[in-house]
Structure 1
Amino acid sequence: MDGGTLYTIGELARRTGLPVRTIRFYSDEGVVPPSGRTAAGYRLYDAAAVARLDLVRTLRDLGIDLGTVRRVLDREIGVGEVAAVHAEALDVRIRTLRLRRAVLRAVAKRGSTPEEIELMHKLARLSDEERRRIITDFIDESFAGLDLNPDFAAKMRSALPELPDDPEPEQVDAWVELAELVGDPGFRASVRRMAEAQAADISRGSYPDDPVRLAELTREKIEQAIADGIAPESDAARPIADELARAYADASQTTNDAEFRRDLLARMEIGTDRRAERYWQLLTVINGRPVPPTLTPCFEWFIEALRASGANSGSGADTRR
């Protein structure tokens, strides 16, 4: 472009591809002032104005507001500084758009009502800290004033939702379900009962030394029983229930008598809540980890077997350690 040539707004529009009204607006705002005027008063622009217009268009295409563009052109701030700020703003915008996309996909999958859509959007927009606070408040209320197993308490407090910047619809769906779950008064009361039962066992000195090993033993024995087609109320289930009851009594350093069997049944009934297992499953989905196999059906089988073997009446118990 000839440095001495002057262009009208129409010619400038044809060369740059920008609408005349846009160039006129920039000119009126003083962002790209004219270099002169014709005898009839029409605005003219030189090569420097054209270069200035190209820079304005580039900065505006990057999402930079007109006030900041003016400051860049007037050399009040550097392009690098502006680029860094706007890159950070774009990162936030991108995360927001990804989250909205995940919410919309989750909505499409669920066929949500307008009320559910509003709730999903609100919960998904929470910050990491706000999401963690929802869970920690639930844990604080459930465990308040109770002396619990330190390993269990630490596991609960360390397992917090970490929704990624670009979540899958399943992760958004899981977070919404988890938030609804911990806000359910019935579930909160159930978890409180579990915590109180554990604290009572600890105070009596009857809390198992290795509850994880007991859970694994229960899963192993009962999964095999289920695979063999053994119903919990059948005679074939009695020896399995007796073996597990003795294992629990040994782990609790107590006698496997009628009273222990009644207490064991009561603890199993308190501690076996499908919603509690769902809590952990939802956390693993949100945090992008594989969902562990379910244990609740095994404990439900054990509860039915204990009832059928006479845990309430004391029959079937023995005094072996």
Structure 2
Amino acid sequence: MDGGTLYSIGELAQRTGLTVKTIRFYSDRGIVAPADRTHAGYRRYAPDAVARLALVRTLRGLGLGLDVIRRVVDQELTLSEVAAEHAAALDVEISILRLRRAVLTAAAQREPTPEEMELMHQLATLSEAERRRLIDDFLDTVFGGLHTGSLYAAARRSMTPELPDNPTDQQVRAWVELAELTLDPDFRASVRRLTEDHAAHLPVGSPTPPRPDTIAVARDLVGPAVACGITPDSPQADPVVAALTAHCAQAHGCPDDAEPHCRLLDRLEAASDPRRDQYFQLLALINDWPAPERLAPLIDWSVTALRIRAAR
């Protein structure tokens, strides 16, 4: 058809797939104005109304409001400007929906009380500054007042979660779980005891690096034994326990300690809290780090082996 052809609202509906009611609504809103009217008052539309309505349908399908659509079809706004603005709004909405889904998924797995549900929601929706304050408070409890210089400054950094700007559902759930851990007074006290015990055996003012701590040595000595299937009550475990005990005595400046097993047992029992492993597993997930080795099985092996020998 040539450019002088005008369409009735019914013909326009057939060409666009929209209903007469919808086209009339758009027309009343000034989005697709009629080019003329018949003597009886019926609307007639120019051929370009087909293209305009196709654009309107597309933009409505993308969720844009009618006021914005009218400005686009009237060329008051460019499509790129609208697309960028709408994409940014969708990013915010998607982030909110992701947080909600993460909280609901975590709740479905845990059967929380109403109070726990509220806490989970609050933790998931904290701002970046609020998350930082929560973690800083936890780390201040763990490391505060020890005056151990760069060694514990580095340890503090290595325990700091950094939730990305666009976290996955899994990272959000991990953040909620880690944040709940940091608010647990018993967990705070447990980690603080480990830190104080470690700091108590550091050489004050010495420029030499500290010896590997008991947990690291247990990992290095016990790990191969566990991997080989050596049980803590077997004779093959004796040299492993002896090496572990000797290191502990030497590292703490008491090679002639009469009760090295008991001394080492106290340290490992303090480190056997499974929540420690849980914290570092969650931390790695949030920060997108490689999953750390779980130390609880090695510490449990060491504790069992030491108890057996202490009882002999």
| Aligned 8 A contact 2:281 2:292 in 1 | yes
The answer to which of 73-82 and 36-45 deviates more is 73-82
Partner of 1:167: 168
Please list every run of 5 or more consecutive structure 2 residues that lacks an aligned counterpart in the other structure: none
Partner of 1:61: 61
User: For 2:138 and 2:36, how far apart are their aligned partners in 1?
Assistant: 70
User: For 1:151 and 1:215, how far apart are their aligned partners in 2?
Assistant: 16
| Displacement after TM superposition at 1:279 (Å) | 0.7
User: For 1:69 and 1:33, how far apart are their aligned partners in 2?
Assistant: 13
Listed as ranges, the matches of 1:28-67 within 5 Å are 28-67=28-67
| Displacement after TM superposition at 1:250 (Å) | 2.4
Partner of 2:246: 246
Listed as ranges, the matches of 1:176-187 within 5 Å are 176-187=176-187
| Displacement after TM superposition at 1:276 (Å) | 1.4
The number of residue pairs the alignment matches comes to 307
Partner of 1:22: 22
User: For 2:283 and 2:92, how far apart are their aligned partners in 1?
Assistant: 24
The answer to which of 177-186 and 58-67 deviates more is 58-67
| Displacement after TM superposition at 1:24 (Å) | 1.6
Listed as ranges, the matches of 1:128-277 within 5 Å are 130-148=130-148, 150-158=150-158, 159-162=160-163, 165=166, 167=168, 169=170, 171-202=171-202, 209-211=210-212, 215-223=215-223, 225=225, 227-231=229-233, 240-258=240-258, 263-277=263-277
| Displacement after TM superposition at 1:239 (Å) | 5.1
Q: Return the letter of the residue paired with 2:210.
A: D
| Aligned 8 A contact 1:6 1:46 in 2 | yes
The normalised TM-score by structure 2 is 0.79
| Displacement after TM superposition at 1:229 (Å) | 2.4
Q: Return the letter of the residue paired with 2:232.
A: I
| Displacement after TM superposition at 1:81 (Å) | 1.7
| Aligned 8 A contact 1:139 1:157 in 2 | no
Matched-pair identity in %: 51
Residues 1-50 of structure 1, C-alpha deviations (whole Å, 9 max, x = no match): 43222222222222211122222222222222222222222222222444
User: For 1:79 and 1:228, how far apart are their aligned partners in 2?
Assistant: 69
Residues 239-284 of structure 1, C-alpha deviations (whole Å, 9 max, x = no match): 5434322212323444341377655444333333221121111222
Q: Return the letter of the residue paired with 1:245.
A: T
RMSD over aligned CA atoms reads 3.6
Partner of 1:319: none
User: For 1:164 and 1:107, how far apart are their aligned partners in 2?
Assistant: 23
Residues 152-184 of structure 1, C-alpha deviations (whole Å, 9 max, x = no match): 442332441435736254x44433322221111
Matched, 1:81 2:69: no
| Displacement after TM superposition at 1:139 (Å) | 1.0
1:258 is paired with a residue whose SS is coil
| Aligned 8 A contact 2:138 2:188 in 1 | yes
| Displacement after TM superposition at 1:218 (Å) | 1.8
Listed as ranges, the matches of 1:104-123 within 5 Å are 110=109, 112-113=111-112, 115=114, 120=120, 122-123=122-123
| Displacement after TM superposition at 1:188 (Å) | 1.2
Q: Return the letter of the residue paired with 2:27.
A: S
The answer to which of 90-99 and 15-24 deviates more is 90-99
User: For 1:112 and 1:164, how far apart are their aligned partners in 2?
Assistant: 28
Q: Return the letter of the residue paired with 1:228.
A: I
The answer to which of 202-211 and 262-271 deviates more is 202-211
1:5 is paired with a residue whose SS is coil
User: For 1:40 and 1:17, how far apart are their aligned partners in 2?
Assistant: 25
Residues 120 and 163 (structure 1), Cα distance of their counterparts in 2 relative to 1, 3 Å cut: farther
Residues 184-230 of structure 1, C-alpha deviations (whole Å, 9 max, x = no match): 11111212222222333337689982326x54442343345552223
Residues 293 and 79 (structure 1), Cα distance of their counterparts in 2 relative to 1, 3 Å cut: closer
Matched, 1:283 2:289: no
| Aligned 8 A contact 1:209 1:252 in 2 | no
User: For 1:84 and 1:140, how far apart are their aligned partners in 2?
Assistant: 42
| Aligned 8 A contact 2:98 2:169 in 1 | no
User: For 1:164 and 1:27, how far apart are their aligned partners in 2?
Assistant: 42
| Aligned 8 A contact 2:27 2:34 in 1 | yes
| Aligned 8 A contact 1:208 1:251 in 2 | no
| Aligned 8 A contact 2:194 2:270 in 1 | yes
| Aligned 8 A contact 2:124 2:172 in 1 | yes
Residues 101 and 166 (structure 1), Cα distance of their counterparts in 2 relative to 1, 3 Å cut: farther
Residues 268 and 204 (structure 1), Cα distance of their counterparts in 2 relative to 1, 3 Å cut: farther
Residues 166 and 305 (structure 1), Cα distance of their counterparts in 2 relative to 1, 3 Å cut: closer
Q: Return the letter of the residue paired with 1:273.
A: D
Residues 289 and 266 (structure 1), Cα distance of their counterparts in 2 relative to 1, 3 Å cut: same
Q: Return the letter of the residue paired with 2:230.
A: D
The answer to which of 261-270 and 137-146 deviates more is 261-270
